Amino acid sequence: MSLNKYISFYATLLMCLVLNLSSCTVGYKNDGKEVTWHTWNEGNGHNSRKVAADPNSFEALEDDYGRDAVHAFYEGDIIEGADGSSFKTLGNWYASDDKHVYISGNLIKGADASSFKVHRYRLGEDKNDFYNDTTALNIRDKDSFEILKYSSGKESSYAKDKYNGYYMNGTVIPDIDYQTFHPIDVESWQDRCYAADKNKVYCYGEVVPMADPATFKVVDFAIGQDKNRAYKGKVPTQIKDYTKLEMVGPVMYNDGTNIYDLDFKILPEADVATFEHIENNWYKDKNKIWWMSKPLPGANPQTFMPVEVSSYRSISGKKDPLRGGDFNFGKDDKYVFYQDSIIVGADPMSFEKIDFHDGDSWTVFDKNKVYQGKDSPNRRKYLKKKYGKR
C-alpha cells in the first residue's frame, strides 16, 4: 500500500475516535498480501476482517465499494454476480458493471446498465423506467414524470405522470385527479404517508376509505383526521377527534370515557378514572395490571412491580440498578409474570434480572431456577454469596 493510502486510512480512523461516532466506516486496507475491511464502532472499537479479494489486482473505490480482476465488493463482501473487470461506481452509493446496476451492493433488477443515470441518492433512471432504491416505479410516461413536493419545497414520497400517481415503494395509483393530486404537508418527524386529490385520500399509495380530502390533515405519526373521524394509517377508527385524546404512557390513550390502545381499540375492563402508567410497558388501575393492552391474570395492583434490572460488579460483588424496571418481567406478592402470562413455579421474592457481564449478559433467575441465560462465574459467585449455592 502506498504511503498516501496509509495516511488516509489512519486519518479516517483518528477522525472516528475524535468524533466519537456510534458507527464509522474506515474502509479497505491492502498490504500486498491480503485485503481487509475495517470498521470502527463505539461499542467494541476497531474491527477488521479478511476480504476474499486478490491483493494484486484489488482497487478500493468510493462509497465502500472495491473490485479486483474478477469480483466486486461492498463493505468487504462479494457482490454476487458482479463483474470486477467492468465494475465502476456512479456516485450516491450506485455502481454498475457491463450488465447490471447496484445500490449499496444490492442488485437493481431490470435496470439497463448502459443507459442508467443517477439523479440523487435512492433515485435513478434508465431508458425504461425510474428506480427508487432497488424498486422499479413502473412509470407509464417518463417524459411527464415528476416527484411532488410539499409546500416547504422538500420532496415527498409521491410522484405523478400524466396518467398515474406513484408512491415511491413501487405502488401505481390509477385514476388520480392530475391537477389536484398532492402530498399532504407534515411536520418533519411525522410519517410521509399521506396524499390527496379532490376526490380521495391516499396512504402509502392506497385509498383511505371514507376519508374527506377537503378536511383531511395529518395530526400525528401515520395518523390522519378529517371532519368525521381519525385514521390509523389507511384504517378508519372509532375516534371522532384525535386531538381530544390524552396519551397515557407510550402505548395507551384516554378520552375520559374509554382507554384505547395504539390501534384505538377499547380496553373494556379498564377503569378510566384510576388507569395509569406504571413504567415501560406496564399499566394498572384499581382492579388490574396490564402488559400493554393485555390484562395479567391474578395480578395484584397493590403489590405489583416491574422486575428491577441490575448490573453486577464483579470486583465488589454488588449490583447496581440500571434503567429501573424491565419491559417484560413483572411480579407481585404471589406470582412472577412474563408479559401477560404467569411463570409457573417462579418465586417472586427472589426473582431477579441481572447483567453479569460474562456468559450471557442478561440472566433471569430466582433462588431455585435459571429462566434465561447461561452459566457464568459471576452468576455462580453471586448465588453462592446470597443463597449459599452454585
Helix (H, G, I), strand (E, B) or coil at 116: coil
71-107 pLDDT per residue, tens: 999 999 999 999 999 999 999 999 999 999 999 999 9
Q: Are 193 and 202 in contact (CB under 8 A)?
A: no
Q: Output the CA torsion sign for 46, 51, 53, 55.
A: positive
Least confident of 170-184, 260-274, 326-340, 366-380: 366-380
User: What is the residue whose three cell numbers read 448502459?
Assistant: 114
Helix (H, G, I), strand (E, B) or coil at 5: helix
- Is it the case that residue 10 has pLDDT exceeding 60? no
Q: What are the residue ranges of helices labelled H in 191-316?
A: none
Of 333 and 16, the structure prediction assigns the larger pLDDT to 333
293-348 pLDDT per residue, tens: 999 999 999 999 999 988 876 444 555 555 589 999 999 999 999 999 999 999 99
Helix (H, G, I), strand (E, B) or coil at 112: coil
Nearest to 108 by CA among 136, 67, 145: 136
Radius of gyration of the chain (CA): 28
Q: What is the pLDDT of residue 98?
A: 97
Report which secondary-structure segment, H or E, holds 14.
helix 3-19
Spatial CB neighbours of 347, under 8 Å, sequence gap ≥ 6: 336, 366, 367, 368
Domain ranges of the chain: 142-244, 296-387
Q: Are 119 and 92 in contact (CB under 8 A)?
A: no
